[in-house]
Amino acid sequence: MLLLPVLLVAVFAFILGAATPNCWARGGGHGDDDGDEQPFKDAEIFIEYNSTAGDTGVQVFLHDDNWRRITISDPKDRTIFRVEGKAMLGRQGLTELFFESVEPELAALPMVKFLKRFREGEYEFEGIRNDRIELESTVEFTHVIPCGPEVLPDEGTVLDPESEVVISWGEVEEVVDPLSWTSRRMTRP
């Protein structure tokens, strides 16, 4: 009878250890920089401003091989997005993810409020691949919004829907000042 409490403690410890997620056991949880992470092959977050429709949103793209879980945190370390493949999709693995937020018109969500909602700073992309490699990239999110290109056909070019059309434009040199809605010359680093 004296061995029963010792046996119960051992069984409880075994069950607790088996139920603990691998990332806890490996010390790879959020905020723990053990140096075992590798960066995503591609991770981006940026503002999409549609001058024609007068709306603004956020777009995110990321890519890596065979991942199953992704979390994105804002500059205040709050989780703003999480996705995970489950069952057969989790076992199969994922490679790319692209999404964009709803793009309300500026009358419904003025730019000042939008910029407060999505603050400038470092956004952290974290994930885990099916081979247990941890992924981590830090992406700088800015309020720099390039002006749209001005597309002009060459003189004498007739835009015929039946023919092949090649459109080209020069490098964007100006950015939108979102608080005044005027354009200004882009500053280069």
Does any domain span residue 110?
Answer: yes
Does any domain span residue 159?
Answer: no
List the beta bridge partners of residue 73: 79, 124
> Mind listing the pLDDT tens digit of every residue in the chain (189 residues)?
454 443 433 433 333 343 333 332 223 333 444 567 899 999 999 998 887 788 889 999 999 999 999 999 999 999 999 999 999 999 999 999 999 999 999 889 988 899 999 999 999 999 999 999 999 999 999 998 877 666 665 665 566 667 666 666 667 777 777 666 555 555 544
Does any domain span residue 164?
Answer: no
**What are the distances in angstroms from CA 171 to CA 1, 48, 117, 144, 189?**
82, 18, 29, 15, 15
Query: What pLDDT score was predicted for residue 99?
Result: 96
Instruction: Calculate the CA dihedral of residues 108, 111, 115, 116 and round it to 10 degrees.
Output: -60
Does any domain span residue 1?
Answer: no
Which CATH number does the domain housing residue 37 bear?
A: 2.60.40.10
Its domain, for residue 118, covers 22-148+176-183
Does any domain span residue 12?
Answer: no
Does any domain span residue 5?
Answer: no
E-assigned strand segments in the chain:
42-50, 55-73, 79-84, 94-100, 121-129, 134-141, 145-146, 174-177, 182-185
Query: What pLDDT score was predicted for residue 49?
Result: 85
φ, ψ of residue 68 to 5 degrees: the values are -125, -20
Domain count, the chain: 1
